[in-house]
C-alpha cells in the first residue's frame, strides 16, 4: 500500500500534522508513507521512523505553476492507494485530480471545491487541539480498517547530531554544568510577538535571579534583531548570540541540547516540544493558542486570559498592562523550578 499525506505549510502545521503519518504507519506497518511539505521544513523529518519519503515543494515550484504541475504529476505516478489532503486548496487538490485510480482521496469540506475527493471532512466541532482536528480526517478509513491512532509528534535527533551541536555550543562558550535555556524573543509571524521591551525586562530579571545561560537563537533574517536585543541588555555574558544554525535540522539539534524553551509562540516552540524539552510560552494580547499548545505538565503558557478570564474584551494595550513583568517572572520561576532546577538535582 502507498499513502500520501499533504501539508505544505509552515513549521507548526507540519509538525502537528505528522501524527497522521504516525497513525497510518501504526495501522499499515508495511505501507509506504510519503509526506509533502515545504523544502525548508523537509530536514526536520529526515530519518523519521514513520515517514518513508519526504517530498518537498521548492520556492521555485511554489511560484511557477508549470513547475508545480510537473512536480505533482511526477509524485502521483507513484499510484497511491490513499491520499490525505490536509491542505485542501486548489493547488493541493491537483494531487487527487491526477490520481484517478486512488481508492481514498480525503480532503476537507470547502464550498464549491473538492470535487476530486472521495470523502470530504467537515470542520470538526469540539476538537481539543490541532492534532485532534487533523486526525479526524482519517475517519472514512475506519469503515474498512482498524485505525491505530496516536498523537505522537516527536522528532528524533540522533546521538551523533546532538553531540555535533553540543560541541558547537561548547566552542561558543556554553557550560553544560549549568542550565541552558533557549529564548524566543522574536517570531517569524509579527502577530505572535510579545512586547519586546517587556520581554527584555523579563529576561533581565530572570538573569538576576537564576543566572542561566540564555541562547537568543535566530534565523538569518532575525540575526540583526537578536544582536540588537543583546546589545540593549548590555551584551550580558549570560546571553549567547554567537551560535548559528545552518538549517531547521540544526535548530532541532540545538533545542535538544537545551533544558527548556521560553518566549514567543511559533514554529521553534513546536520543534522544542517535539524534541522533548519543556516549553513555556508568553502570549501577546488576543493570541489564541488553545489549538496550538498541546497540553501537558512540561508545556505551559501565560497570557492575558490566565490573569483575567475576560481579558479579551479589553483593548490590546490594557491586556498588555495586566501582563506585568513580575507576573511573567513568577510563572517562569514556578515552571523553571519544576522542570529544570528539580530535574538537575
Is the domain covering 2-143 a CATH 3.40.640.10 domain?
Answer: no
Q: Which of 25, 1, 8, 24 is nearest to 95 (CA)?
A: 8
pLDDT value for 291: 65
Q: d(Cα 240, Cα 174) in Å, to the nearest integer?
A: 8
| Grid coordinates belonging to 168 | 558547537
The whole-number pLDDT of residue 295 equals 65
**Cβ-proximal residues to 90 (8 Å cutoff; 6+ apart), any chain:** 113
Q: Report yes or no: 37 and 45 within 8 Å, Cβ to Cβ.
A: yes
Enumerate residue ranges in the chain where pLDDT < 70. Answer: 188-191, 291, 293, 295-297, 342-345
Residue 189 has a pLDDT of 66
The answer to whether the CB of 130 falls within 8 A of the CB of 19 is: no
Per-residue confidence (pLDDT) for residue 257, from 0 to 100: 97
The CATH code that applies to domain 159-344 is 3.40.50.2000
In the chain, residues under CATH classification 3.40.50.2000 are 2-143, 159-344
Q: Is the distance from CB of 76 to CB of 51 less than 8 angstroms? A: no
d(CA 333, CA 331): 5
Mark residue 48 as left, alpha or beta (left: phi above 0; alpha: psi -120 to 50; beta: remaining): beta
Per-residue model confidence (pLDDT) at position 155: 93
What is the model's pTM?
0.92
Contacts of 222 (CB under 8 A, 6+ apart): 186, 188
The tally of CA atoms less than 13 A away on the side-chain side of residue 305 is 10
Contact 33, 51 (CB under 8 A): yes
Report in angstroms the alpha-carbon separations of 243 from 111, 186, 212, 214, 221: 47, 16, 16, 11, 15
Amino acid at each position: 500500500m502507498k499513502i500520501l499525506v499533504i501539508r505544505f505549510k509552515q513549521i507548526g502545521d507540519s509538525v502537528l500534522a505528522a501524527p497522521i503519518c504516525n497513525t497510518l504507519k501504526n495501522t499499515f506497518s508495511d505501507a509506504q508513507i510519503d509526506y509533502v511539505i515545504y523544502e525548508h521544513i523537509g530536514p526536520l523529518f529526515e530519518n523519521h521512523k514513520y515517514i518513508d519519503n519526504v517530498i518537498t515543494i521548492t520556492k521555485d515550484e511554489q511560484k511557477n505553476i508549470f513547475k508545480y504541475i510537473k512536480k505533482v504529476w511526477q509524485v502521483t505516478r507513484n499510484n497511491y492507494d490513499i491520499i490525505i489532503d490536509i491542505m485542501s486548496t486548489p493547488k493541493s487538490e491537483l494531487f487527487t485530480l491526477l490520481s484517478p485510480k486512488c481508492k481514498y482521496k480525503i480532503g476537507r469540506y470547502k464550498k464549491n471545491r473538492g470535487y476530486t475527493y472521495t470523502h470530504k471532512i467537515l470542520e470538526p466541532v469540539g476538537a481539543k487541539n490541532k492534532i485532534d482536528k487533523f486526525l479526524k480526517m482519517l475517519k472514512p478509513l475506519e469503515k474498512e480498517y482498524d485505525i491505530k491512532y496516536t498523537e505522537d509528534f516527536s522528532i528524533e535527533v540522533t546521538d551523533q547530531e546532538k553531540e555535533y551541536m553540543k560541541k558547537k555550543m561548547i566552542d561558543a562558550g556554553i557550560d553544560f554544568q549549568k542550565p541552558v535555556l533557549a529564548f524566543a524573543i522574536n517570531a517569524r509571524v509579527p502577530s505572535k510577538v510579545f512586547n519586546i521591551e517587556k520581554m527584555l525586562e523579563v529576561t533581565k530579571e530572570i538573569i538576576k535571579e537564576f543566572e542561566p545561560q540564555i541562547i537568543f537563537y535566530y534565523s538569518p533574517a532575525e540575526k540583526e534583531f537578536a544582536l540588537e536585543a543583546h546589545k540593549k541588555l548590555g551584551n550580558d555574558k549570560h546571553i549567547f548570540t554567537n551560535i548559528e544554525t545552518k538549517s531547521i535540522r540544526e535548530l532541532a539539534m540545538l533545542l535538544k541540547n537545551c533544558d527548556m524553551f521560553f518566549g514567543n509562540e511559533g514554529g521553534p516552540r513546536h520543534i522544542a516540544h517535539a524534541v522533548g524539552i519543556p516549553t513555556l510560552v508568553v502570549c501577546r494580547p488576543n493570541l489564541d493558542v488553545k489549538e496550538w499548545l498541546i497540553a501537558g505538565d512540561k508545556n505551559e503558557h501565560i497570557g492575558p486570559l490566565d490573569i483575567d478570564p475576560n481579558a479579551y474584551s479589553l483593548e490590546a494595550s490594557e491586556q498588555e498592562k495586566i501582563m506585568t513583568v513580575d507576573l511573567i517572572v513568577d510563572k517562569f520561576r514556578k515552571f523553571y523550578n519544576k522542570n529544570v532546577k528539580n530535574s538537575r538535582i
